[in-house]
Amino acid sequence: MIYLLQGNLSVSDSGSYLPVAIQVLFVVGLIALLIFLTHILGPKRKTADKLQSFASGIESHGDARQPMAIKYFLTAILFVLFDVEVIFFYPYAVIFKELGWNGFLAVLMFVGFFLCGFIYILKKGALKWED
């Protein structure tokens, strides 16, 4: 860790990151200030209703650790998976022309692998809702 201190702070190195450092300081300072201010200035009214825990504006009921059918989870996670994969098409759409046929083939390969995964999921019955 000594080398951290011995490191040579050249101009291009530290100078170009000065704005980042200022921003970090600003963020930390602002958060600390806000927490401090709300604590000092805000009124404190502790009633029984206010201290109760609630979810989405209504009173909570039941146990949060209730077992739930795995298919909800599976469908949700598969949706997220495919949703994230689609994001990869956006950068391709932007540089579609520059990449030419090579880029097209690469994306075709990507879709091919993607399709393999989809067929696998269907075959495994991950999206079968009725048992």
Partner 1 sequence: MNALILSAVLGVIMMFSGVMLKQKSAVRNIAITGLFLLLVVNILEMSGMSFFRINTAGMMHFDRFSLLFNCIVFFSTFVYLLLSARDIEKTGNYYAEYFTLIFFILCGVILVSSFQSLLILFLGIEIISIPLYILTGSDKKNLKSNEASLKYFLLGAFSTGLMLMGIALIYGSVGSFSTAQINMTEKPGALMIAGMILLLFSMSFKVSAAPFHFWTPDVYDGAPTVFTSFMATIVKVAAFIAFIRLFGEAFGNLQPQWQIWIALITAATLFIGNITAVFQQSVKRMLAYSSIAQAGFMLLSLYAMNADAKEGLLLYSAAYSLATIGIFAVLIKMNDYTFDGFNGLAKYQPLLAATTTIFLLSLAGIPLTAGFISKFYMLKAAVATGRHLWLVIFAVLMAAVSVYYYFRVIQAMYFKEGQPGIITTSPVFKYTLVVLAALIIILGIFPNLLLNWYYF
Residue ranges in contact with partner 1 by CB under 8 A: 1, 3-4, 7-10, 13-14, 17, 113, 116, 119-120, 123-124
Extended strands (E) in 1-131? 54-55, 58-59
What contacts 99, CB < 8 A, 6 or more positions away? 92, 106
Residue 55 CB, nearest approach to partner 1 (Å): 26
What contacts 121, CB < 8 A, 6 or more positions away? 78, 127
Residue 126 CB, nearest approach to partner 1 (Å): 11
Residue 53 CB, nearest approach to partner 1 (Å): 27
Nearer Cβ to partner 1, position 29 or 117?
A: 117
Nearer Cβ to partner 1, position 79 or 113?
A: 113
Contact by Cβ (8 Å): 60, 54: yes
> Among residues 110, 105, 102, which one has the least CA distance to residue 85?
110
Residue 28 CB, nearest approach to partner 1 (Å): 18
Nearer Cβ to partner 1, position 1 or 40?
A: 1
Contact by Cβ (8 Å): 122, 64: no
Nearer Cβ to partner 1, position 30 or 105?
A: 105
